[in-house]
Amino acid sequence: MNKKIGFIGCGKMAQAIIGGILKSKAVTPGHIIATAKTKETLADVKNRLGIEICFSNKQAAVETDILFLAVKPDLHSAVIDEIKDYIKPGAIIITIAAGISLDYLEKAFGQKIKAIRSMVNTPSLVGGGMSVIAANTLVSAEDLEEVIQIFSSIGRAEVMEEKMLDAIPAISGSSPAYVYMFIEALADGGVKAGLPRKQSYQMAAQAVLGAAKMVLETGKHPAELKDQVCTPGGATIEAVAELEKKGFRAAVLSAMEECYDKTKALSDNNK
């Protein structure tokens, strides 16, 4: 990729994306520039990743072909006001913040821009992320392929219509938190049965990882894979029956509805 990529804000998620880009060799460290508020953050990033750093958001905007707005939602307005007159013609602007719509970006910049709205999750930090992106009409097929290449470097990437993005946090953005709770509960069950805590976490986490890979790599319906584990009259079907009795599915669905409502409210406030 013969493009320069910029990051305004260089927190953990931005660093994960930068690390993925460099690991995939999509560009060299010299083709990435990042800004941050503190000298400590920039020095650390420079030492570990070898990328270009600066304190000037305007400089990052002037130099880059693909510019990530990697700041919190409430900082977008101030950052965009600062850089909107300095972005390169034809630059692709990407937000990774929840609730920042394409329409918001277009209005805030006050000009026609190539805009991408994305939703990423924390497993991106270990290359196991799920990213969903939506683009406005000015983003070409070639532009989109380059953006997909970037997000694929930290896991899987999917392109969807923007109207669907408010539902994404509940299923992939926030859901790692639910899974961590599930892993913790599994480990507690192992400890209750007499297993050491460390090994209980390892076995629970590996079981979840393996089950997820089975869904992704076999293409089979999760219900079919569940049935393969549940032998007639066995222990697993007893456990599944107890989960159903305690409202396991209903609790997950209810949690996702709450998450969606909160995300939708944030999005509505940024239109």
Domain of 85, CATH number, reads 3.40.50.720
Domain boundary among 140, 168, 196: 168
Q: How big is the chain, counted in residues?
A: 271
Q: Are residues 164 and 178 in the same domain?
A: no
| Domain range for 108 | 5-168
Q: What is the pLDDT of residue 124?
A: 92
**pLDDT tens track for 130-188:** 999 999 999 999 999 999 999 999 999 999 999 999 899 999 999 999 999 999 999 99
Binding-site residues for NADP(+) sit at 8-13, 70-73
Q: Are residues 191 and 159 in the same domain?
A: no
Binding-site residues for NADPH sit at 57
Specify the range with the lowest mean pLDDT, choosing from 98-102, 240-244, 266-270. 266-270
Q: Percentage of the chain surpassing pLDDT 70?
A: 99
Q: Are residues 125 and 233 in the same domain?
A: no
Using CA atoms, how far apart are residues 135 and 147, in angstroms rounded to an integer?
10
Nearest to 151 by CA among 168, 170, 163, 175: 168
Domain with residue 179: its CATH number is 1.10.3730.10
Strand segments (E) across the chain: 5-8, 32-35, 52-54, 66-69, 92-95, 114-119, 129-135, 155-159
Q: What is the pLDDT of residue 176?
A: 95
* C-alpha distance across the termini of the chain, in Å: 33
Counted domains in the chain? 2
Using CA atoms, how far apart are residues 191 and 259, in angstroms rounded to an integer?
31
Q: Are residues 145 and 229 in the same domain?
A: no
pTM given for the model: 0.89
Residue 98 has pLDDT above 70, yes or no: yes
Using CA atoms, how far apart are residues 216 and 202, in angstroms rounded to an integer?
21
Mean pLDDT of the chain: 94
Using CA atoms, how far apart are residues 57 and 36, in angstroms rounded to an integer?
9
Residue 271 has pLDDT above 70, yes or no: no
Q: Are residues 15 and 142 in the same domain?
A: yes
Domain boundary among 134, 168, 202: 168
Binding-site residues sit at 8-13, 57, 70-73
The model's confidence at residue 11, banded by pLDDT at 50, 70 and 90, is: very high
Q: Are residues 216 and 255 in the same domain?
A: yes
Domain boundary among 153, 168, 183: 168
Q: What is the pLDDT of residue 2?
A: 87
Q: Are residues 145 and 54 in the same domain?
A: yes
